[in-house]
Structure 1
Amino acid sequence: MDVLSPLSLLADPSGPRSAAPAKYADRWRRRDLPDPILVETLYAGTAPTISVAQTSTPTTGYIKYAPAGVALTGSDVTGPFTYLGGGSLTIGSGTPDSSYVLPITRYPNSRGTLSSSQSVWSVQFGTNSQTLQMRFNYQTAGMYRLVVDGRKVADLMTAVGGTTAGNSHLMSVDFGSAAPRTVRFDFYTVPFGGIFLPPTANMWAVPKRTDRFMVLGDSLSDGSNMNTGSGAGTWAHRAARLLGSDDYWDEARGGTGYISPGTSPVYAVLGDRLALDVYANPPDRLVIWAGYNDNGGNQTTLRSAADSLYASVKSNLPSCEVYVLGCWAPTSSPATSLTNTDATIKAAAAAAGLPFVSPITGSIYNSAGTLLATHGPFITGTGKVGSTTGSGNADIYVGSDGIHPTDAGHAYLARRIVASLQELMPA
């Protein structure tokens, strides 16, 4: 058994650590986090020239690097791709779906025709080519983010720009010069069919750099029509980068909660999704943020569900760093049902020995339930009422539906949540 000195306990505001999980030796530390300015800085190289055409025929002589399992013909090879944010890459059936893969690692863990339950994920590889062509099937909701050498080419997700839904397309990318690079595509609703490179170029694997970071929650993390790129454009993707994680898993589903099962195709509360969504793809760090969809329910029932969920997580993921966020409030004057829900989740987290952050008050509690700091409410003011702009930040950070964050709101929430988690990290 490891022996923790009094000094080591003082250095770790999240409270005493169990000696059992050796994994805690490489837990998040404030001093190891990346510089947030560098993380948010866009790619400074020559801006790539990007075009899209409805075709599956690449430039003459180009070699296809196909996803594993896709049938190879001619000069095709299997590409050394690293998949991030999703797993169980599954090939579709029929034409053209048998040429495309999609992950199925989110409830209901299924693969339809040119669709998947796991809509947000990424593919990464290295190449020294000046040009590449990415094969995808155009879906009207499809969006992407190109990341070169760890820097985003554009801050927000971009529409893939296809022509006819259900048809094969090629996205041609010209970097302006040949040089070794790490290339990453973040996807939202994009069936992936591989990369074409000229015969003079190479491709190699670029393994992920960090442990797996996962968020289990509702549409605050899964995205809405108030933000760009749905789940690929929420606070969680930004927070992952600010925390130095390149393998972020979006296991949130809109409408769900501790006791709310959401709507089709979900119909499952958080606890029902643990086995397939979380334990089957075990994270090293997990943020649980839900409760807004539960605020109209019975608080005793909510407490029981939260107690059960936290106990299960601690039992099945003994080495995972787990953080709990309380109930969201889109105004500075939340209804009693929201404050009661926040208090119920806080009490359950404390009973389970899990750190807790309240979006309503900005208060941060360690695993022993001790208040460490209060950063103030996430949202202030009342937002826009009709044509009148309210005071505070709600009118900027909360969308016209009065609930979900805007793009600016998600950028703000990422900073607030990361700052809160830093209070829970050792220096």
Structure 2
Amino acid sequence: MAAGLVVAGALAWFVLARPSSGTAEKPRPVTFGDLMHPMSTEVLGPDEVKASLRTRPPKWGDREEIRWDRDDVFTYSLPPQPLGTHFGGLTLDDAAEFFLNNSVAKGVDVRFVVTGRRFAIHYKTYRQSEARVWLDGRPVSKKAFWVDDTDGRDDWLVITLPKTRTVTVRFEGPTIFSGVEHSADEPVTVKAAKPEFTIGVVSDSMYEPSPYKGSISRSAAPTLATLTGFRVWNMAQSGTGYLNAGLQVPLAGYFNLSESTRYGSEERLQAIDTAPIDALLVNGSLNDSAMYSADAYRDAVDRFLTAVEMRLPTTPIVIVGVEPISSDTIPDHPTPMYLEMTDVLRQAAAEHDNVVGFIDPYTDNWLTGTGSAKHPRGDGNQDKYIGPDGIHPNGRGQVFYQRRVVEQLRTLPVNPRDAHPAGD
């Protein structure tokens, strides 16, 4: 894969950059941090860009649209499907949705290269949406562009530059993406951005999109992408784990969970096998506590990792452990079951050759207390970081949590052979 060449290139760079001496030195292993180029937090100034959200098409006279389904124009973080595909109703090909192999809509995260002075990103909102835009890695605004419309509407995020130039655009947040529009009288070209190093994510709802204002565009997956510069191929499914297959029941509207399966199911493994990924992050899960036994859990973790290694023998795997979330039913102190689950994951990381690291938020207790932003209790940081449902991080919490993930991810080797040298 092309992304694999990124790693090879990085390895070659370190070999060439090593100081010359009379004795051969072993090159420093390439880490995930060496491949990161996080998005900037420095907002573009008003003399650099003007960005505005409109509910009606721009008044540019005749407009041309570069649709979401144009070949080789957009670099997506998940494969797009025509709007309505998933629910089997009316399918509209004028916009795309992003579901992959599960039944909770993911937000768009798309990159493309524009040459021009003025263009509009066209998307649709049903219920609520948040949108964020970066140009050459810098945000066009401090806050996300928020829309609240229960009836549904089209939106245009208009980007105007001082003069014609070429910029790489990243657009993320909304669940429905239509394409890019421009005035027919002004030449604008759009082409696909170069694919970034791609990390796949298998997870429970920790990496599903958040439905809350201020959190949608700061959900876990786009936040991980922002902090690393990686493309994040999000294969999360709510309610699942190594043992837990989730609710597997159809629910009304947006959150239909009837297609969920456990991590080691053939469906999840097939999604991993066909994903264009360079690494895999496996997160969680507290959900496994509902059906936990030590032997069953150990077997499920081992079977999953073995199956992934057989399908992707050179792909590095990073395990992120049980979430340290507390509530009325989950105490804010170490419990034997969660400690045992953590030990199983730590041992599996040591025993499986493809696993390059284990990140342990439970033992480190990243989230403290039993409250939430809606119901603070004054006993820990969950008062700031947990959303209205009392169990999932809000946008502020995901930024905090993913920063902790990235802090440890950046030190881990990309090549599994560097994590498990011969003889260890």
Please classify the TM superposition score into its range, dividing by the shorter chain length: 0.7 to 0.9
- The 1:60/1:214 distance shift into structure 2, 3 A limit, reads same
Equivalent position of 2:10 in the other structure = none
Deviations 1:231-250 (A, max 9, x none): x42344233333331x2122
Size of the aligned set, in residue pairs, is 371
Equivalent position of 2:169 in the other structure = 183
Q: CA RMSD in A?
A: 3.4
User: Within 5 Å, which residues of 2 pair with 1:169-208?
Assistant: 169-175=155-161, 177-208=163-194
Give structure 1 stretches of 5+ with no counterpart.
13-26, 69-77, 109-116, 363-376
Rounded to whole Å, the distance in 1 between the matches of 2:62 and 2:375 is 59
Alpha-carbon shift at residue 299 of structure 1 (Å): 2.5
Rounded to whole Å, the distance in 1 between the matches of 2:296 and 2:214 is 35
- Check the 8 A contact 1:66/1:79 in 2, yes or no: no
- The 1:254/1:335 distance shift into structure 2, 3 A limit, reads same
Equivalent position of 2:36 in the other structure = 33
Equivalent position of 1:324 in the other structure = 319
Equivalent position of 1:49 in the other structure = 51
Alpha-carbon shift at residue 228 of structure 1 (Å): 3.6
Alpha-carbon shift at residue 118 of structure 1 (Å): 4.6
**Counterpart residue identity of residue 406, structure 2:** V
Rounded to whole Å, the distance in 1 between the matches of 2:155 and 2:110 is 17
Rounded to whole Å, the distance in 1 between the matches of 2:171 and 2:36 is 23
Equivalent position of 1:268 in the other structure = 261
Alpha-carbon shift at residue 285 of structure 1 (Å): 1.4
Q: 1:310 aligns with which of 305, 319, 325?
A: 305
- The 1:227/1:419 distance shift into structure 2, 3 A limit, reads farther
Rounded to whole Å, the distance in 1 between the matches of 2:201 and 2:24 is 32
Using structure 1 for the length normalisation, give the TM-score. 0.75
Equivalent position of 1:418 in the other structure = 406
- The 1:243/1:100 distance shift into structure 2, 3 A limit, reads closer
Stretch deviating more after TM superposition (276-285 or 396-405) = 396-405
1:129 is paired with a residue whose SS is strand
- The 1:387/1:132 distance shift into structure 2, 3 A limit, reads closer
Rounded to whole Å, the distance in 2 between the matches of 1:121 and 1:283 is 18
Rounded to whole Å, the distance in 2 between the matches of 1:80 and 1:196 is 18
2:236 is the alignment partner of 1:252 = yes
**Counterpart residue identity of residue 83, structure 1:** T
- Check the 8 A contact 1:258/1:306 in 2, yes or no: yes
Stretch deviating more after TM superposition (353-362 or 92-101) = 92-101
Rounded to whole Å, the distance in 2 between the matches of 1:322 and 1:169 is 39
Alpha-carbon shift at residue 163 of structure 1 (Å): 7.7
1:205 is paired with a residue whose SS is strand
Alpha-carbon shift at residue 300 of structure 1 (Å): 1.8
Rounded to whole Å, the distance in 1 between the matches of 2:155 and 2:386 is 35
Using structure 2 for the length normalisation, give the TM-score. 0.76
User: Within 5 Å, which residues of 2 pair with 1:140-289?
Assistant: 140-154=127-141, 157-160=144-147, 164-165=151-152, 167-175=153-161, 177-225=163-211, 228-230=214-216, 232-245=217-230, 247-263=231-247, 264-272=257-265, 273-289=267-283
- Check the 8 A contact 2:200/2:279 in 1, yes or no: yes
Rounded to whole Å, the distance in 2 between the matches of 1:250 and 1:67 is 19
Alpha-carbon shift at residue 131 of structure 1 (Å): 2.4
**Counterpart residue identity of residue 316, structure 1:** R
Q: 1:129 aligns with which of 116, 121, 127?
A: 116
Rounded to whole Å, the distance in 2 between the matches of 1:386 and 1:199 is 54
Equivalent position of 2:79 in the other structure = 87
Rounded to whole Å, the distance in 1 between the matches of 2:190 and 2:229 is 23
Alpha-carbon shift at residue 157 of structure 1 (Å): 4.2
